[in-house]
Protein backbone atom coordinates (compact mmCIF):
# COMPACT_ATOMS: atom_id res chain seq x y z
CA UNK A 1 0.00 0.00 0.00
CA UNK A 2 2.95 2.32 -0.35
CA UNK A 3 1.38 3.72 -3.48
CA UNK A 4 -1.78 4.58 -1.69
CA UNK A 5 0.15 6.46 0.97
CA UNK A 6 1.91 8.51 -1.68
CA UNK A 7 -1.35 9.17 -3.43
CA UNK A 8 -2.95 10.43 -0.24
CA UNK A 9 0.03 12.58 0.59
CA UNK A 10 -0.11 14.39 -2.69
CA UNK A 11 -3.85 14.74 -2.35
CA UNK A 12 -3.30 16.52 0.92
CA UNK A 13 -0.50 18.65 -0.47
CA UNK A 14 -2.79 19.76 -3.28
CA UNK A 15 -5.59 20.64 -0.90
CA UNK A 16 -3.25 22.56 1.36
CA UNK A 17 -1.71 24.65 -1.37
CA UNK A 18 -5.13 25.39 -2.81
CA UNK A 19 -6.30 26.64 0.54
CA UNK A 20 -3.22 28.48 1.71
CA UNK A 21 -2.59 26.14 4.56
CA UNK A 22 0.75 25.73 6.19
CA UNK A 23 2.88 22.72 6.64
CA UNK A 24 3.84 22.07 10.23
CA UNK A 25 5.71 19.39 12.03
CA UNK A 26 2.48 18.40 13.80
CA UNK A 27 0.68 17.83 10.54
CA UNK A 28 3.56 15.83 9.15
CA UNK A 29 3.70 13.59 12.16
CA UNK A 30 -0.05 13.15 12.33
CA UNK A 31 -0.23 12.27 8.65
CA UNK A 32 2.57 9.73 8.85
CA UNK A 33 1.10 8.16 11.93
CA UNK A 34 -2.37 8.12 10.48
CA UNK A 35 -1.27 6.42 7.28
CA UNK A 36 0.62 3.81 9.24
CA UNK A 37 -2.20 3.25 11.69
CA UNK A 38 -4.48 0.27 11.77
CA UNK A 39 -7.73 1.06 10.15
CA UNK A 40 -10.43 2.53 12.32
CA UNK A 41 -8.47 4.70 14.66
CA UNK A 42 -10.15 7.06 17.06
CA UNK A 43 -8.88 10.54 17.81
CA UNK A 44 -7.62 9.33 21.14
CA UNK A 45 -5.87 6.35 19.64
CA UNK A 46 -4.18 8.46 17.03
CA UNK A 47 -3.20 11.07 19.58
CA UNK A 48 -1.55 8.44 21.70
CA UNK A 49 0.44 7.13 18.75
CA UNK A 50 1.43 10.62 17.68
CA UNK A 51 2.62 11.52 21.14
CA UNK A 52 5.11 8.69 21.07
CA UNK A 53 6.91 10.69 18.44
CA UNK A 54 5.93 14.20 19.43
CA UNK A 55 4.58 14.36 22.98
CA UNK A 56 3.56 17.99 22.97
CA UNK A 57 0.79 17.53 20.45
CA UNK A 58 -2.66 18.12 21.89
CA UNK A 59 -6.03 16.58 21.33
CA UNK A 60 -7.39 19.63 19.55
CA UNK A 61 -4.65 19.53 16.98
CA UNK A 62 -5.34 15.94 16.10
CA UNK A 63 -9.04 16.73 16.01
CA UNK A 64 -8.56 19.65 13.67
CA UNK A 65 -6.04 17.82 11.56
CA UNK A 66 -8.40 14.91 11.02
CA UNK A 67 -11.07 17.36 10.00
CA UNK A 68 -8.57 18.72 7.50
CA UNK A 69 -7.79 15.22 6.24
CA UNK A 70 -11.46 14.52 5.72
CA UNK A 71 -11.89 17.78 3.82
CA UNK A 72 -8.89 16.93 1.66
CA UNK A 73 -10.25 13.48 0.92
CA UNK A 74 -7.40 11.80 2.71
CA UNK A 75 -9.45 10.33 5.55
CA UNK A 76 -12.90 8.83 5.93
CA UNK A 77 -14.85 9.39 9.09
CA UNK A 78 -16.96 6.50 10.33
CA UNK A 79 -19.50 6.74 13.09
CA UNK A 80 -20.59 3.35 14.25
CA UNK A 81 -23.37 3.59 16.77
CA UNK A 82 -22.30 4.95 20.07
CA UNK A 83 -18.62 5.46 20.72
CA UNK A 84 -16.29 8.07 19.34
CA UNK A 85 -15.88 8.58 15.61
CA UNK A 86 -13.33 6.41 13.86
CA UNK A 87 -11.09 7.41 10.99
CA UNK A 88 -9.41 5.45 8.25
CA UNK A 89 -7.27 6.42 5.27
CA UNK A 90 -9.44 7.05 2.23
CA UNK A 91 -9.37 4.73 -0.75
CA UNK A 92 -10.00 6.91 -3.75
CA UNK A 93 -12.24 5.13 -6.27
CA UNK A 94 -13.20 2.51 -3.75
CA UNK A 95 -16.00 2.46 -1.32
CA UNK A 96 -16.56 -0.13 1.33
CA UNK A 97 -18.97 -0.73 4.15
CA UNK A 98 -18.61 -2.48 7.46
CA UNK A 99 -19.83 -5.50 9.32
CA UNK A 100 -19.35 -5.58 13.08
CA UNK A 101 -19.51 -8.58 15.33
CA UNK A 102 -21.42 -7.46 18.37
CA UNK A 103 -19.75 -10.11 20.51
CA UNK A 104 -16.06 -9.64 19.79
CA UNK A 105 -16.16 -6.21 18.23
CA UNK A 106 -14.24 -7.19 15.12
CA UNK A 107 -14.82 -5.00 12.11
CA UNK A 108 -15.03 -6.61 8.68
CA UNK A 109 -15.05 -4.66 5.45
CA UNK A 110 -16.83 -5.44 2.25
CA UNK A 111 -18.06 -3.88 -0.91
CA UNK A 112 -21.01 -4.94 -2.97
CA UNK A 113 -21.80 -3.48 -6.38
CA UNK A 114 -25.28 -4.96 -6.41
CA UNK A 115 -26.29 -3.12 -3.28
CA UNK A 116 -24.67 0.10 -4.47
CA UNK A 117 -26.60 -0.11 -7.69
CA UNK A 118 -29.85 -0.81 -5.92
CA UNK A 119 -29.34 2.19 -3.69
CA UNK A 120 -28.98 4.49 -6.64
CA UNK A 121 -32.19 3.27 -8.22
CA UNK A 122 -34.12 3.32 -4.96
CA UNK A 123 -33.13 6.93 -4.48
CA UNK A 124 -34.05 7.78 -8.02
CA UNK A 125 -37.41 6.17 -7.46
CA UNK A 126 -37.97 8.51 -4.55
CA UNK A 127 -36.95 11.52 -6.59
CA UNK A 128 -33.52 11.91 -5.10
CA UNK A 129 -30.07 11.91 -6.61
CA UNK A 130 -27.93 9.75 -4.36
CA UNK A 131 -24.74 11.35 -3.12
CA UNK A 132 -23.59 8.98 -0.41
CA UNK A 133 -24.70 6.36 2.01
CA UNK A 134 -23.85 4.80 5.28
CA UNK A 135 -24.38 1.11 5.87
CA UNK A 136 -23.26 -1.01 8.77
CA UNK A 137 -24.22 -4.60 9.35
CA UNK A 138 -24.28 -6.20 12.79
CA UNK A 139 -24.05 -9.86 13.57
CA UNK A 140 -22.31 -12.58 15.50
CA UNK A 141 -19.34 -14.65 14.40
CA UNK A 142 -20.36 -18.15 13.44
CA UNK A 143 -17.02 -19.48 14.63
CA UNK A 144 -17.57 -19.03 18.36
CA UNK A 145 -14.03 -19.96 19.23
CA UNK A 146 -12.39 -17.42 16.98
CA UNK A 147 -14.90 -14.90 18.25
CA UNK A 148 -13.99 -15.55 21.88
CA UNK A 149 -10.34 -15.29 20.98
CA UNK A 150 -10.89 -11.76 19.71
CA UNK A 151 -13.09 -10.59 22.53
CA UNK A 152 -11.59 -8.01 24.81
CA UNK A 153 -8.70 -7.45 22.49
CA UNK A 154 -9.79 -3.83 22.91
**Chain contacts with DNA (rule: CB under 7 A):** 16, 20-27, 42-43, 54, 56-61, 63-65, 67, 79, 82-85
Residue 130 binding a second copy, by CB under 8 A: yes
Task: State which residue, 86 or 101, has the beta carbon closest to DNA.
Answer: 86
Task: State which residue, 41 or 141, has the beta carbon closest to DNA.
Answer: 41
Maximal C-alpha separation, the chain: 53
Residue 146 has a CB neighbour count (10 Å cut-off) of 12
The answer to whether the beta carbons of residues 62 and 26 sit under 8 Å apart is: no
Residue 67 binding a second copy, by CB under 8 A: no
The answer to whether the beta carbons of residues 57 and 47 sit under 8 Å apart is: yes
Q: Alpha-carbon distance 63 to 128, whole Å?
A: 33
Sign of the Cα torsion 111, 115, 119, 121 reads positive
Task: State which residue, 2 or 20, has the beta carbon closest to DNA.
Answer: 20
Touching a second copy, residues 73-102 (CB under 8 A): 79, 81, 99, 101-102
Among positions 18, 22, 94, 126, the unique one binding a second copy when judged by CB under 8 A: 126
Amino acid sequence: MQDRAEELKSLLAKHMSEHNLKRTRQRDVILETFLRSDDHTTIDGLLEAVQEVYPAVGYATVYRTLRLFVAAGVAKERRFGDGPAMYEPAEPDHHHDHLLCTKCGRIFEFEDPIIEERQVSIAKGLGVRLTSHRMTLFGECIDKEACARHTRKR
